[in-house]
Amino acid sequence: QVQLVESGGGLVQPGGSLRLSCAASGFPWDYYSMGWFRKAPGKEREGVSCISTSDDSTLYADSVRGRFTISRDNAKNSVYLQMNSLNPEDTAVYYCAAGQVLVLKDWDYANWGQGTQVTVSS
């Protein structure tokens, strides 16, 4: 059983940056992958990025590739999402999740945090 808590969300202007953090307790590195997903009002939950807990392999959604960077720190039981060049379309609640396979599909992720709000607006 793993518990995940996101932080770092907030209000930022278009073109700005935020770094999201996900603090894990339990045995997070028994999972193969850690992912970030987001949910905007009126839209389906979308996979943003995920990272292997062992070899640092990563996946990114086309919409964020080149702007967002996922990373992890096993010693700190944390995973991060650096978000640059933010635009209003990035506005959503962002969730951290632990999964078994390195795929950006929500069915792979059994454990989820409560989410952190990211709002991009001028």
Dump pLDDT digits (tens) for 102-121: 999 999 999 999 999 999 99
Which band of pLDDT confidence, cut at 50, 70 and 90, is reported for residue 52?
very high
The SS3 call for residue 28 is helix
Kindly tell me if the per-residue pLDDT of 13 is higher than 70. Answer: yes
Percent of the chain, pLDDT > 90? 84
Which band of pLDDT confidence, cut at 50, 70 and 90, is reported for residue 5?
very high
**Secondary structure E strands in 1-122:** 2-7, 10-12, 18-26, 33-39, 46-52, 58-60, 68-73, 78-83, 92-99, 109-112, 116-120
Euclidean distance between the first and the last CA atom of the chain, given in angstroms as a whole number: 40
Cα–Cα distance measured from residue 106 to residue 87, given in angstroms and rounded to the nearest whole number: 24
User: 57-84 pLDDT, tens per residue?
Assistant: 999 999 999 999 999 998 888 999 999 9
**What does the buried/exposed string (b/e) look like for 1-35 if buried means 16 or more CB atoms within 10 Å of the residue's CB?**
ebebebebbeebeeeeebebbbbbeeebeebbbbb
* pLDDT value of position 29: 66
- For residue 81, the number of C-alpha atoms closer than 13 Å in the C-beta half-sphere is 34
Alpha-helical (H) ranges within 57-111 are none
Listing DSSP states for 72-86 in one string gives EEGGGTEEEEEE-S-
Q: Which residues pair with 18 in a beta bridge?
A: 83
